[in-house]
Structure 1
Amino acid sequence: MASQKENSNPAVVTGKSFTAVAINTAAKAGEWIKSKLGSYGQLSLKTSAQDLVTEVDKGSEKMIRNLISTHFPHHTFLGEESVGQTEEEKQEAIARASEAEYVWVVDPVDGTTNFVHGFPFFSVSIALAHKGEIIVGVVYDPSRDELFVAEKGKGAYVHGNKMKVSRESELAQCLIASGFPVDQQKTLPPNMRGLQALAPQVRNIRTSGSAALHMAYVAAGRLSGFYELGLNAWDTAAGAILIQEAGGKVTDTLGNPYRLSTRHTLASNGIVHSSLLEVIKQADAQG
């Protein structure tokens, strides 16, 4: 049992730093993924032609799970490739994980389609939640060797430098990111309505294919906001704490606080959050 002194720091248990383990694990997995770029073997489809998985995704998740379990064998693990493919299975897994004392929430390759095509915008996303609250988040971009890291109450950092969200106060000044949901029947149409409504009001929109990196870029002040429907905890958990610790805001598209169960995600520098919410609402694009 951990001592009272050890428990006083939510990022340390039995003398081991959660954050250090997350950083080391993400870096090792990221370097291995990079070594496989252009040489993956089997490409499979999950729920649609836009929802891809390779043996690199599965190998990365296995590596991450093994490294984490070496340090924290009793913690729960929630990885994208280890849950079922139906929406019901995914949401049941997330609901169970939300009740765990400690759960690691992992996307082993966020941006698989980019990886498959050799487009260098993909990442490893690792978060740790304690009783449903995210306390550590790491997003690692192996192509640029950029490590984004946040610990609850201690700020967010990239290249060892503290991150702060951007200061744009008007939508016309904002560079926003989004994505194209893989569910073409339910979530893609409203997501497109949202983009159509946002496009004439913001400076521009980027859709680069990795929600975790988009959210890390919001935290770093490179983007003013991010909006996408139909995401899951492994896509957004690490990014959420990065943004919050950098002074930004993350909610669902109704404005409710972010939780592991949040599917429809809106993140921003906080200043333009209400404006983004209103545009999405008026466009009937909340999902």
Structure 2
Amino acid sequence: MHPMLNIAVKAARRAGTIINRASNNLDVLRVERKNHNDFVSEVDRAAEQAITEVLLDAYPNHAILGEEGGAQGDSEYQWIIDPLDGTTNFLHSFPQYAVSIALSHNGTITQGVIYDPVHNDLFTASRGAGAFLNDRRIRVSKRIQLADSLIGTGFPYSDFAHLETYMSMFKDLLQRTAGLRRPGSAALDLAYVACGRFDGFWELGLKPWDMAAGVLMVQEAGGLVSDVEGNEHFLETGHVVAGTPRVFGQLLQALQPHLTDSLRY
């Protein structure tokens, strides 16, 4: 395992310990509302602080981009952190949330960790070295037809600017696929594409920390990722499409008729 990935795993597991401990005392957690349907708890902040401490202890000159703490430092290396992707699920004891940590080197994602503390599932990826689930090599599924595919997605939850567009996409794809699922954690959704549990995924309006690690995971597992126009601006736009090599193209094509100018880069 790459030394930087190893440090990220250590950080993710430390955050997972904090999250698991807090899951037993949800009724006493302090929770704030950042926006409509967008919550942050003291667990999010504690987990991010723990991750940041582990990373900066090993690499004190690296920069940090965290969901809760924002951007810190200036370096060619930047850690992109979501300490608890799926906070709403966590607050309702719905067991679908994860820690997501990625490393960007000069703008390229090179390392990624997604840790599911509920099931103790550790997804890891290093650029050029493949993707793994609990040390077992993973690949995207072999499905080739959108009609046979299980597709993950994420509903708009805070910013509803693209709600009507999204709903038209959802209605269309509901009739073109074997099924749509919205578990509520984009990081895990992308990890599920990487290991073949989903055959594809799309979502609008994500943040870099929601998808950075997951995007690398899919790519290293043999899948394809783009923005909704088929380009590589997903980290800038927040709009992402991912899937197996064959399903990806069909999913992207199905989304094209619904695109509005506001979704274009």
Q: Distance in 1 between matches of 2:227 and 2:92?
A: 31
1:111-190 to structure 2, matched below 5 A, reads 111-190=86-165
The one-letter amino acid paired with 1:164 is: R
TM-score (norm 2): 0.93
Q: Is the partner of 1:69 in helix, strand or coil?
A: helix
| 1:214-268 deviations in Å (ceiling 9; x for gaps) | 0000000110011100001000000001000000011101100255324101111
Identify the match of residue 17 of structure 2 among 28, 31, 42.
31
| Counterpart selection for 1:47 from 10, 35, 39 | 35
Structure 1 residues without counterparts, runs of 5 or longer: 1-10, 84-92
Contact 2:62–2:77 under 8 Å retained in 1: yes
Could you list the runs of 5+ residues in structure 2 that have no partner in the other structure?
A: none
Residue range with higher mean Cα deviation, 210-219 or 23-32: 23-32
Deviation at 1:73, TM superposition (A): 0.6
**How many pairs were matched up?**
260
CA shift digits 1:46-81 (9 cap, x unpaired): 121x11110000110011011110000100000000
1:6-85 superposed matches below 5 A: 17-40=3-26, 41-48=29-36, 50-83=37-70
State yes or no: 1:193 paired with 2:144.
Answer: no
How far the C-alpha of 1:212 sits from its partner, in A, is 0.2
Matched residue, 1:107: 82
Q: Give the deviation of 1:183 after TM superposition.
A: 3.4
| Cα distance between partner residues in 1 of 2:20 and 2:233 | 31
1:82-108, CA deviations, whole angstroms, 9 ceiling, x for partnerless residues? 13xxxxxxxxx5xx99x8400000000
The within-5 A match list for 1:186-265 is 186-258=161-233, 260-265=235-240
Deviations 1:147-175 (A, max 9, x none): 00000110000021100001111111100
- 8 Å CA contact 2:23, 2:93 repeated in 1: yes
Give the 3 Å change call, closer, same or farther, for CA 259–18 of structure 1 in structure 2: farther
Instruction: Name whichever of 183-192 and 63-72 sits farther off.
Output: 183-192
Q: Secondary structure at the match of 1:36?
A: helix
Contact 2:224-2:242 within 8 A present in 1 as well: yes
Greater shift, 185-194 or 125-134, is seen at 185-194
Q: Judge conservation of contact 1:132–1:259 (CA < 8 Å) in 2.
A: no
The separation in 2 between residues aligned to 1:200 and 1:56, in whole angstroms, is 39
Normalising by structure 1, report the TM-score.
0.86
Whether the 8 Å contact between 1:100 and 1:132 is mirrored in structure 2 is no
Q: Which residue identity is paired with 1:178?
A: T
RMSD: 1.8
The SS at the match of 1:272 is helix
1:81 is paired with a residue whose SS is coil
Q: Is the 8 A contact 1:216 1:239 kept in 2?
A: yes
Asked if structure 1 preserves the Cα contact closer than 8 Å seen for 2:101 and 2:113, the reply is: yes
Provide the rounded CA distance (Å) in 1 between the counterparts of 2:20 and 2:158.
Answer: 28
The 1-side partners of 2:130 and 2:145 are apart by: 25
Identity in percent: 40
